[in-house]
Amino acid sequence: MSATPPPSTPSQAVEPLVDERLISRTLKAALRGGGDFAEVFVEDKRSSSASLDDGKVEELVTGRRRGAGIRVVAGASTGFAHTADLSPSGLAAAAEIAAAAARADGGQGSTESPRRGSREPINEVIIPPGRVSGGRKVDLLKLADETARAEGGAIRQVACGYGDSRRRIMVADSEGLLATDEQVKTFFGVSCVALGDGGMQTGRETSGRTVGFELFDDVDVADLARAAARRALTKLAAHPAPSGSMPVVIGPGGGGVLFHEACGHGLEADLVNKGASVFAGRVGEQVANAGVTLIDDGTMSPEWGCYAIDDEGRPAQRNVLIADGVLQGYMLDRLRARRAGRAGTGNGRRESYRHLPMVRMTNTFIDNGDARSEDILADTPRGIYVAHLGGGQVNTATGDFVFGMTEAYLIEDGRLTAPIREGNLIGNGPQVLMEIDAIGNDFAMGSPGTCGKDGQGVPVGDGTPTLRVARLTVGGTAD
């Protein structure tokens, strides 16, 4: 189904959400009682979603949030207040509350006049989702539902979801920064339940990018539905997963979440500074096998975690965290970089104007190697092939993790054989990095995700090429 109507409508440059003179007055008010640094973050986000379950449209929802968060830093103390009132009086009141919460004393801090940054949106939006009718979005849901059910009578339940958002932000601070960004995202997902002799099994497939409704020029929702249904049907005949330590081959894209959770969070500077990371104090050390390169890239358009500026107004960057197995550095937000006298890495993110920013990943992935995926498989006499991982748990202080396998197969004599189910991968992030002994050249990004940390969720992406972990514990239920 083609999404593009003629003529296309390109995005326009992002305009400030609040008058610049009002922003200047607000920053001065925030530092009036003393303080070293003040920041105003303004957000205007519009979103819509639709869902279909059991053949019926369950909801068609639109929403909007609009407001500002004001932060004041005085030494090691931070004060924060937020308001949905963007009038001069509303911003002034929030500035006074933030200043008081910072427990600042002494003379008034200085402010520089905001200077507009030159960053433009990271990509062009051809079809703003807000201009697309709700009926057209529902038609996509119905098509996915019909396609999934046509895959076989064992498909008993189908749930489909559509979502889009347009988020405009403006960031200004007392050091003269003034930056804006517009982030448009579109998402589609299909979940299926199959029922048979193997019990009840599920399959899910999603797609999402930082683009407009033109997503559906490249993504066929019928293909997503077929993939989700076939995954559920395949698992009906799957064998229980084996148990024990064995080689695990992770397919392109599907295992990126493992490295996001088990390694990426440990490279966020706030956890490092708290001593809650196994990677603390190890810059310059060999922390992974030679050939392993781990990157976090907020400029990776049009992936789910990309943006032009972070939520502190700093440009997104491509940060090589581990290069050829050697730890290069950590992800930083603005305040930690400022206190360390270093440049930021563009990783200061927040869920909304109601939240303080913190260090967060963007698009985190293992870079390509030079092996062919078919050679990696052929060189593995026995083991497990993981096409997709599900949710898991990680202890960032130790690196220990447990992840569920949502699609996996036995490897026997270098070939994929029977599908397996009801299995987990159990291991340690740093140890897994050292155990990677083959990396393919078929890199792919995985499904779009929302990363939760300290009660905040932000959009992220992750990916891998095909790779092999020489030894990893599989927790299965087979005798």
Q: What is the DSSP code string of 374-412?
A: HHHHHT-SEEEEEEEEEEEEE-TTT-EEEEEEEEEEEEE
Closest CA to 205 of 217, 220, 216: 220
**Given this model, what pLDDT does residue 343 score?**
83
SS3 229: helix
**Residue numbers in the chain where pLDDT is lower than 70:** 1-15, 104-111, 113-120, 479
pLDDT digits over 365-377, tens only? 999 999 999 999 9
- Contact in structure between 377 and 414 (CB atoms under 8 Å): yes
Q: Which residues contact residue 139 at a Cβ distance below 8 angstroms, ignoring those fewer than 6 apart?
A: none
Domains parsed from the chain with CATH numbers: 20-236 (3.30.2290.10), 240-475 (no CATH)
Task: Return the pLDDT at 123.
Answer: 80
pLDDT attached to residue 10: 37
What pLDDT, on the 0 to 100 scale, is given for residue 392? 85
pLDDT number for residue 398: 92
Q: What pLDDT, on a 0 to 100 scale, did the predictor assign at position 121?
A: 73
Are 436 and 467 within 8 A, CB to CB?
yes
Note the pLDDT of residue 12: 43
N-terminal to C-terminal alpha carbon distance within the chain: 47
Nearest CA to 314 out of 113, 175, 109, 459 is that of 175
Torsions phi, psi for 263 (to 5 deg): -125, -45
How confident is the model at residue 117, as a pLDDT? 63
CB–CB of 126/9 below 8 Å? yes
